[in-house]
Amino acid sequence: MFRKVKDAIARFVCRCLMVPAAKKKGYGIIGEYLLSVEGKRALRDALFDCDDYKILKQKVRFSSLLSDEDFKNINLPQEDGMSISSFFSGKENWYVGPMSVMYGARCSHIGENFRAGRAFRLEVIEEYSGQRFSPSLEIGDNVSIQDFCHIGCVERVEIGDGTMIASKVFITDHFHGDISPDDLKTMPAERPLSHKPVKIGRNVWIGDGACILPGVTLGDNVIVGANAVVTHSFDPNSVIAGCPARLIRKIEDNKNEEREV
């Protein structure tokens, strides 16, 4: 009962008060949230439990408030002054869930039919604590990323077409420091970033909670088990799992059979 009352109040506040004001001031609406440059935290919290406020192009619950043109011009302010929609310039078939943060659009290319769930965090970093980088992020077509995933890039991260990434996956091409005795004298946040490129092939399936660490290359069709920590590269058609990840079996596509290791 309490939740229903809470949802009803949030719907009333959003529909009658916040949305008209936000539209008048040019704020953006995306996912479940209406956000402003200042950040409407109270409204965001109120809407967190409101299942009615998912905005997907095929399921616009704000239909009485947003026209098709409004939807196309969604603009969510980000820390680098660019919006989530700037990652998808000229593309219509994409979706990024609520609570997501993405920056580094000018160093990124994301293909067609991209999907990311709740709280997707994408950081393409050009500067950190005085260090300058020339990052490159390449995500192919038909890539699907589930909830609470984090991708960090300071050098190069490549994800191939058709790859599917489950929830709570972490992919990074950099560390805080280089794991040396000298680093222990400095707080992690103040250590210089060390980095190696990451490449994930086509049609890779990465299970829940996996970590893909710097310098890793995963060939096409690799399957990564849940909670695996991938510290080195694997050939195409490999099934891997564990901490650190190891080869479990190889799928022999030329013989149409599986070979256990």
Give the residue numbers annotated as catalytic, written as ranges.
176
Question: d(Cα 8, Cα 50) in Å, to the nearest integer?
Answer: 9
Q: For the chain, what percentages of helix, strand and coil (3-state, to nearest 5) are there?
A: 20, 35, 45
**Residue tagged 């000018």 (tokens):** 106
- Give the separation between CA 189 and CA 251, rounded to whole angstroms: 41
| 231: amino acid identity, one letter | T
Our CA angle for 244, 246, 248, nearest 5°, is 145
Q: List, in sequence order, every residue forming a beta bridge with 2; answer none if it has no partner.
A: none
CA atoms within 13 A on the CB side of 132: 0
Contact 171, 212 (CB under 8 A): yes
Instruction: Give dist(CA 87, CA 194) in Å, integer.
Output: 26
| Distant-in-sequence, close-in-space partners of 113: CB < 8 Å, separation ≥ 6 | 93, 94, 141, 142, 143
Place of tokens 């196309």: 72
Give the integer Cα–Cα distance in Å for 209 and 3: 30
